[in-house]
Amino acid sequence: MNADPIDASASPAASQADDPMPQPPVQPDLDACCGNGCDPCIFDLHDLAMDEYRQAMRAWKARHPEAG
């Protein structure tokens, strides 16, 4: 079986291309809330999405220390 050797000289840009940096969720407009006390409110959902984004960014930065 012929396995390709791992290219240790691969550039950080190439590895980031294979593992792109997470992007933050789009923040809802302030007037997007209906004001009816929905549970969950769109702003609650955005807060949860931001928590997930922050966790994903911490993990991504751990995988890509060269990105700072």
Q: Burial of 43 by CB count in 10 Å (0-12 exposed, 13-18 middle, 19+ buried)?
A: middle
Confidence grade of residue 67 (pLDDT, cut at 50, 70, 90): confident
Rg (CA), the chain: 19
Q: Burial of 62 by CB count in 10 Å (0-12 exposed, 13-18 middle, 19+ buried)?
A: exposed
Residue 38 has which token pair? 């929905």
pLDDT at position 3 is 54
pLDDT above 70: residue 38: yes
Give the pTM: 0.72
pLDDT at position 16 is 73
Share of the chain above pLDDT 90, in %: 71
Average confidence (pLDDT) over 38-57: 97
